[in-house]
Amino acid sequence: MGSTTDPPGGSYLNLGAVTSPVGTTRLLQLAFGCTTFSLVAHRGGFDAAYGTFCMSAWCFCFALTGLVVAFEFTRLHGCLRLSWGNFTAAFAMLATLLSATAAIVYPLYFTRLECPPEPEGCTARDFRLAASVFAALLFVTYATEVVLTRARPGQVTSYMATVSGLLKIVQAFVACIIFGALVHDSRYGRFVATQWCVAVYSICFICTVVVVGMSVTGRAGTLGFPFDRIVVVYTFLAVLLYLSAAVVWPVFCFDPKYGTPSRPSGCPQGNCPWDSQLVVAIFTYVNFLFYVADLAYSQRIRLVPSL
């Protein structure tokens, strides 16, 4: 059996996957990510839910970035039943949010300028400071990838690379923060009105995840109706739903008739229902603004499902 020097479809390896600006950025992500969780695991240390979240976020981003680089370098991503452009854009935005959160949480809870008592000592402090620096650099590299791959005006690109698509990831991420505060003794079950708010958060989160899933799997173009118009209609309804939650939740949590306007003096730090209610209220307004921005930007794009 004979062979040729070059395969019929061109080179098997895609050098641009590691030499292009996006490829170089991904290599830096691998380097900074590996350095960050190695420093923490070796001597920096972590504990409790906050430390576990940071390590999980760094390891998850490192593993997925490694797979993205490997699949693009070997051109195997063409064998996957995914819309690769949508997948990489969605993952870059999610990794940006995760790495940003970890870059804030880890120094806040674990990094101090003073040396901790033995046996940790100053060595542990130095490792934690170094890990905090590399965690910040990791966030910068993921944010850089989002900037490099974001759709420009008039450019034909994947839906998840548009501002509207990126906002879908942010909306789902903020909803997860809301859910975390809800389950942390927020007492949302006291009133039907607050239960309605929970239903709003859940419905919008599920619909947003479905939109992202349809885009990433490339199924948006297989539907028997214009997917982009359905997304716009859903976004408009989500704005109305979040507007109702933004009005109802503060009234039934902070109005003197139903709740407490100010934080109770005897409420324990870190385990106070009022704190959880405040977090939910703040991020309800944040997500409402994201949905409004999404609705505004969605008027300017047209879906190209094949990308």
Of 154, 185, 201, the one marking the end of a domain is 154
How buried is 113 (Cβ within 10 angstroms: 0-12 exposed, 13-18 middle, 19+ buried)? exposed
In a domain, 255, yes or no: yes
Contact between 44 and 124 (Cβ < 8 Å): yes
Collapsing DSSP to helix, strand or coil, 46 comes out as: coil
How confident is the model at residue 218, as a pLDDT? 81
Of 90, 119, 154, the one marking the end of a domain is 154
> DSSP assignment, residue 152?
P
The helix (run of H) or strand (run of E) holding residue 121 is helix 121-149
How confident is the model at residue 119, as a pLDDT? 66
The pTM of the whole model exceeds 0.75? yes
Of 113, 135, 154, the one marking the end of a domain is 154
How confident is the model at residue 50, as a pLDDT? 85
Question: Does residue 138 sit in the same domain as residue 254?
Answer: no
In a domain, 24, yes or no: yes
In a domain, 234, yes or no: yes
pLDDT bracket for residue 3 (50, 70, 90)? very low
Question: Does residue 77 sit in the same domain as residue 199?
Answer: no
Distance CA 179, CA 189 (A): 14
Domain count, the chain: 2
Question: Does residue 78 sit in the same domain as residue 171?
Answer: no
In a domain, 2, yes or no: no
Task: Measure Cα distances from 228 to 94, 97, 159, 219, 299 in Å.
Answer: 22, 25, 9, 12, 10
Question: Does residue 137 sit in the same domain as residue 232?
Answer: no
Question: Does residue 96 sit in the same domain as residue 191?
Answer: no
Question: Does residue 225 sit in the same domain as residue 149?
Answer: no
Question: Does residue 127 sit in the same domain as residue 174?
Answer: no
pLDDT tens for 124-182 read 788 889 999 999 999 999 999 999 988 776 566 778 888 899 999 999 999 999 999 99
Question: Does residue 16 sit in the same domain as residue 52?
Answer: yes
Q: Could you tell me which residue, 89 or 11, shows the higher pLDDT?
A: 89
Distance CA 158, CA 84 (A): 9
Question: Does residue 258 sit in the same domain as residue 241?
Answer: yes
pLDDT tens for 223-280 read 777 778 888 999 999 999 999 999 999 999 888 888 788 887 877 776 788 888 999 9
Question: Does residue 67 sit in the same domain as residue 188?
Answer: no
Question: Does residue 294 sit in the same domain as residue 190?
Answer: yes
Domain that includes residue 285, residue range: 162-263+271-298
Distance CA 174, CA 168 (A): 10
pLDDT tens for 173-216 read 999 999 999 998 788 888 899 999 999 999 999 999 999 999 89
In a domain, 305, yes or no: no
pLDDT bracket for residue 24 (50, 70, 90)? very high
Asked if omega into 273 is within 30° of 0 (cis), the reply is no
How confident is the model at residue 155, as a pLDDT? 61
In a domain, 103, yes or no: yes
Question: Does residue 169 sit in the same domain as residue 287?
Answer: yes
